Structure 1
Amino acid sequence: MDIAIITGGSKGIGRALVNHYVSEKYKVFSLSRSHEKFDDFTQVSVDLTDISTAEHIFEDVLDQIKELDVTSLTLINNAGRLGDIKHLENLRPEDISKSFQLNVTSAFVLSSLFIEFGKAYSCSKKILNISSGAASSAYAGWSVYCASKAAIDMLTSTIAIEQKNKENPVHSFGIRPGVVDTEMQTQIRSTDAEDFENVDKFKELKKNDQLYKPEFVAQRIFDILNSDQMKSGETIDLRE
């Protein structure tokens, strides 16, 4: 049985990924704050900014997987937040902390647990980190988001280096999906130009119908991740 664990699976790219992996006959565990119940995948309600609780809930998911006949394991660290769009001196400490907890700390912790769990399996094991062009391009008002995505890119690279000489390695990959028509884009377009001077650029992208659909992104991610197009440790941009 092919297993996929997807964080932030209740909306946007995450929900599209859940739907696509289900359509590909994967056993899917979706981790998000949603309390909805579904017949075709397992929805696990968790606040990934509460790291201690998230750790225990993720361990429960892994315990469920132990009971299955596993043929492949995939963890997709997709959950993320833009946080307040403001210059650094105007950001609230609690908002900075929450963004790093979700965007960075949860991905580190879940990846660590996934790698340890995967030692018992000789099947294909992959970690995919959803990155962003903001990891390498600084935007005024996005200091936390840019920094957190840069950290995620380094996580992808470091896992690959640490795993390359293991007997049954976990392969790690990063994908920057481009500008996707999600709630995050709605938040960006509603920001005051004083806080985000590039807001008109994003409004133009929406106006000119230049946003990717989440479903298109999910299919591209699946196809790339299940081909030989990427090397472990690599992060690619879907727009290139």
Structure 2
Amino acid sequence: MTTPLPSSSTPLTKAILTGHTRGIGAALAEQLLARGIAVLGVSRSRHATLAQRFPGLLEEAELDLSDLALVEQWLAGDALRRFTSGGQRVLLINNAGTVQPIGPCEMQNAGEIARAVSLNVATPLMFASAFAAATADAGERRIVHISSGAARNAYAGWSIYCATKAALDHHARSVALDESRALTICSVAPGVVDTDMQAEIRGTGVDRFPLRERFEDLKRNGQLATPEQSASKLIGYLLSDSFGLVPTADVRELPQA
């Protein structure tokens, strides 16, 4: 069944979203599309349900975002320029990421470290640069990195996750100083959200992640936000006049819409 577009749709707003098939990414994609915003979803797989519901608005590209050679090759093509062409306001949401490897330094696998740094840092930075170049003629350009509270607080067992998310925060701070025309950026922590990543955390042994019990308590006590709740706040902020006034933000500290 195709979902009709709302009367207030804004077809000249276009969004590129990585990791759009699960968790916060899927919720972001659905809510953007429901607003009438065209979405280019980039992930290892496709979202069949959303493709059926929004056939005129959703485009998808299958890409392993942890494979930097493939990412570089894809970005060198014309997909970004073609999709954003004609957009008066264009958005890039760097959402794809991984929490692995979890564990103290000596227990981390070199291959998992390389994949995490590729997926969490190199790919979003590459997308940001390519997006900025491809949309130079657009009226308004906004980039949001999906960050984490772990970017601003260190946690035992999360050295790679903390470091990679902190890299996104500092990238946003630096890009904000570029004063590029009509380009704003913010690295936003979405809060503690009930996603597959949270299930991974709760399934990790305490020898690798000493704070596991804390996250178990959050789940048990109903203190995790849903992906839909977090996505709603993220989109509200991304489309607001206050977006980009600061280079880092946390959805839990944003004013209610």
Query: TM-score by structure 1 length?
Result: 0.93
Q: Report the Cα offset of residue 183 of structure 1.
A: 0.4
Give the match for residue 104 of structure 2: 87
SS of the residue 1:239 aligns to = helix
Output the CA distance in 1 between the equivalents of 2:19 and 2:82: 19
Deviations 1:64-116, CA, capped at 9 Å, x for gaps:
226x4212110000000001211011101100000000000001101010111
User: Match for 1:98 among 115, 126, 129?
Assistant: 115
User: Match for 2:141 among 125, 136, 147?
Assistant: 125
User: Match for 1:214 among 204, 208, 227?
Assistant: 227
Gaps of 5+ in 2: 1-11
Give the match for residue 131 of structure 2: 114
Output the CA distance in 2 between the equivalents of 1:101 and 1:108: 10
Q: Report the Cα offset of residue 118 of structure 1.
A: 1.7
Give yes or no for contact 1:80–1:99 (8 Å, CA) kept in 2. Answer: yes
Output the CA distance in 1 between the equivalents of 2:161 and 2:119: 11
Output the CA distance in 2 between the equivalents of 1:136 and 1:52: 30
SS of the residue 2:252 aligns to = coil
Question: After superposition, where does 1:132-171 map in structure 2 within 5 Å?
Answer: 132-162=148-178, 164=179, 166=180, 168-171=181-184
Give yes or no for contact 1:224–1:230 (8 Å, CA) kept in 2. Answer: yes
Deviates more, 1:215-224 or 1:33-42: 33-42
One-letter identity of the residue aligned with 2:176: A
One-letter identity of the residue aligned with 2:14: I
One-letter identity of the residue aligned with 1:107: P
Deviations 1:38-59, CA, capped at 9 Å, x for gaps:
1421121000111121233243
Output the CA distance in 2 between the equivalents of 1:233 and 1:100: 25
Give yes or no for contact 2:188–2:251 (8 Å, CA) kept in 1. Answer: yes
Output the CA distance in 1 between the equivalents of 2:210 and 2:184: 38
Does residue 1:61 correspond to 2:75, yes or no? no
Question: After superposition, where does 1:4-23 map in structure 2 within 5 Å?
Answer: 4-23=15-34
Output the CA distance in 2 between the equivalents of 1:117 and 1:64: 9
Q: Report the Cα offset of residue 234 of structure 1.
A: 1.9
One-letter identity of the residue aligned with 1:47: D
Assess, with a 3 A threshold, how the Cα gap between structure 1 residues 125 and 136 changes in structure 2: closer, same or farther. same
Q: Report the Cα offset of residue 144 of structure 1.
A: 0.2
Output the CA distance in 2 between the equivalents of 1:199 and 1:6: 30
Does residue 1:190 correspond to 2:207, yes or no? no
Output the CA distance in 2 between the equivalents of 1:232 and 1:98: 32
Output the CA distance in 2 between the equivalents of 1:43 and 1:99: 23
One-letter identity of the residue aligned with 2:20: G
Output the CA distance in 2 between the equivalents of 1:230 and 1:124: 12
Deviates more, 1:46-55 or 1:147-156: 46-55
Output the CA distance in 2 between the equivalents of 1:63 and 1:234: 25
Output the CA distance in 2 between the equivalents of 1:152 and 1:43: 24
Output the CA distance in 1 between the equivalents of 2:220 and 2:81: 47
Query: TM-score by structure 2 length?
Result: 0.87
Give yes or no for contact 2:21–2:47 (8 Å, CA) kept in 1. Answer: no
Alignment coverage as a number of residue pairs: 235
Gaps of 5+ in 1: none
Percent sequence identity is 35
Aligned-residue Cα RMSD (Å) equals: 1.4
Q: Report the Cα offset of residue 120 of structure 1.
A: 2.3
